[in-house]
Amino acid sequence: MKRRTSRAGTDPVPAPLRGIIPMLLLTLLVVALAVPAGIAIAPAFLGPDRSADAAKPAPPWQQAPTRLSSPRGTGGIGPLSASAAAPDAGPLAAQLNDSLKTDGAGTITGAVQDAATGQLLFDRSGDEARVPASNMKLFTASAALRVLGPDRRFSTKVVAGSAPGSVVLTGGGDVLLGAGESAPGAVVGHAGLATLAQATVRALQNDGVSGTVTVLLDDSLFSGPPLNPAWSPDDVAAGEMAPLYPLATNSARFDPAKTTGPRPQDAAMAAAEAFTAQLTAAAAAAGLSVAPGVVRAPAGAGSGPEKSGPDKSRPGKGDVRVLAEVQSATVGQQVDLLLRTSDNYLAEVMGRMTALAGGRPGSNDGAIAAVLQQLKDMDIPTDTLRAEDVSGLALANQVSARQLTDVVRAMTSGKDTRLRAALAGFPVAGLTGTLGDRYTDASTAGGAGLVRAKTGTLNTVIALSGYVVDADGRLLVFSFIGNGLTPGAANKAALDRAASVLARCGCR
């Protein structure tokens, strides 16, 4: 049986959920989660009252507002009350242990921390190293936000080639290119190849170029093997991963509307061919022609006679003349996407871009080293952590639940506010991303709309790490990891039940 990661892409809303979505939307409440210092974080969202005691009034922070809040200071909402009580460890453990029962073989470890104080409220072998599946992406997201910053964008450029009439399409890390015109409001397709082609033709016209234009491809930004030997060939064939390049359309997908199935095995060349098609169309209107086919150029092929200063995004490339350029969505937006859809390809590219920004090679080893260094800098112990990739597709990864709660706590409540940019990307239980089709039955509906967590799924592995505000208004971070499970068994529900316990629990 094939090992598979969490699905990339938001599933259609399942039929059991359609009836409650209008009620969810009507009762949606934005909650600012913050440390006592008052740093606001991303909101939790209301779900329906499915508790055993439905007659008990919901606490104020889980009720629909009757009026808009007045702006305060910079417009942020006030922090959660510092007087909200944390759950008692004993009653909480009793409920969680009752929920965390496997269906068949295997075991589940877990940890729950109070976000404000770091107090460990639940510990079930929380320091034991386990296969984390796609929860590995939480480490990659935090490293990217710390090193690159949430506002960083990646550039895809066309530069003048060394031969007259030649242009070089140069990859700069944007694998979310669109084939059409740039879409400023989008993440996938924020930078469009048609827009890049049109700008290239205008630049060529201004330079007085005539005749036939030749397109070359420079995708030399990354180094090392494009495929990690730790990945299963079955997973690659199924489209969970593909050879990594520093430019691609639709996160190396043939169709932006299809986020499953096989991927192109040469995503950079596929993007270059799409660019050439757009350039051909734009050039025809300007009286130019474009030679068929694209040739890979050696690194530094762009070295036309006219100079516009060094291209600092490509170390060692020297002076080049940039003819046209498009920029990606921000790193923060891309991190949201990779967490929400659990996109392995995008996560691995983000790891390599993080490595390059830190002065390391843009390779698998460089990405791993960059991520581990950031965890150490965040004071997250890494002695027991083993990383074979930065997406979580490799079964050789070893991570503890406590390490995952530590990184989620850093995102929600740590001093580095750049990490707050990751919070909106956590899937919302029953509503978005890889949690969109979960939390729909009576045992888990108490967490619907409230739990925000990153999923992880391999053949015998499940994981769930995230954050939630409990019934007393206390922000909790959690991680549950199941390993050695019976393939195909109903174990996701156990993790969802546990997270729902946290959402509805005062537990005293």
Burial state string for 232-254 with b = 16 or more CB within 10 A and e = fewer than 16:
beebbebbbbbbbbbbbbbbbbe
Give the domain-ending residue among 297, 329, 361: 329
Determine which of 134-148, 161-175, 297-311 has the lowest per-residue pLDDT on average.
297-311
Domain encompassing residue 366: 15-149+333-504
- pLDDT tens across 353-412, in order? 999 999 999 999 999 999 999 999 999 999 999 999 999 999 999 999 999 999 999 999
Judgement on whether residues 461 and 392 belong to the same structural domain of the protein: yes
Residue 288 has pLDDT above 50, yes or no: yes
Instruction: Provide the pLDDT confidence category of residue 23 given band limits of 50, 70 and 90.
Output: very low
Q: Average pLDDT in the 340-364 region?
A: 98
Determine which of 72-81, 85-94, 406-415 has the lowest per-residue pLDDT on average.
72-81
**Residue 340 falls inside a structural domain:** yes
Predicted model pTM: 0.83
**Residue 309 falls inside a structural domain:** yes
Q: Average pLDDT in the 297-323 region?
A: 55
**CA distance from start to end of the chain:** 44
Judgement on whether residues 323 and 338 belong to the same structural domain of the protein: no
* pLDDT the model gives residue 66: 54
* pLDDT the model gives residue 56: 55
Determine which of 74-88, 140-154, 396-410, 464-478 has the lowest per-residue pLDDT on average.
74-88
Residue 192 has pLDDT above 70, yes or no: yes
- pLDDT tens across 235-248, in order? 999 999 999 999 99
Tell me what the pLDDT averaged over the chain comes to: 85
Residue 487 has pLDDT above 50, yes or no: yes
Q: Which residue bears the tokens 């009252």?
A: 49
**Residue 324 falls inside a structural domain:** yes
Residue 449 has pLDDT above 80, yes or no: yes
* pLDDT the model gives residue 35: 35
Judgement on whether residues 140 and 163 belong to the same structural domain of the protein: no
How many percent of the chain have pLDDT more than 90?
Answer: 75
* pLDDT the model gives residue 41: 38
Give the domain-ending residue among 287, 305, 329: 329
Residue 351 has pLDDT above 80, yes or no: yes
What is d(CA 392, CA 441) in angstroms, rounded to the nearest whole number? 28
Q: Average pLDDT in the 442-451 region?
A: 94
- What is the domain count for the chain? 2
**Residue 496 falls inside a structural domain:** yes
- The catalytic residues are 134, 137, 342
| 110-112-116 Cα angle (round to 5) | 155
List of long-range contacts for 410-416, beta carbons under 8 Å, 24+ apart:
410/142, 410/378, 410/380, 411/41, 411/138, 411/142, 411/467, 412/33, 412/41, 412/115, 412/467, 412/475, 412/477, 413/34, 413/35, 413/39, 413/41, 413/115, 413/116, 413/475, 414/378, 416/146, 416/378
**Residue 9 falls inside a structural domain:** no
Judgement on whether residues 448 and 368 belong to the same structural domain of the protein: yes
Number of residues in the chain: 508
Judgement on whether residues 265 and 322 belong to the same structural domain of the protein: yes
Judgement on whether residues 357 and 306 belong to the same structural domain of the protein: no
E-state strands within 20-165: 33-34, 40-41, 107-114, 120-124, 155-160
Determine contact, residues 248/267, Cβ cutoff 8 Å: yes
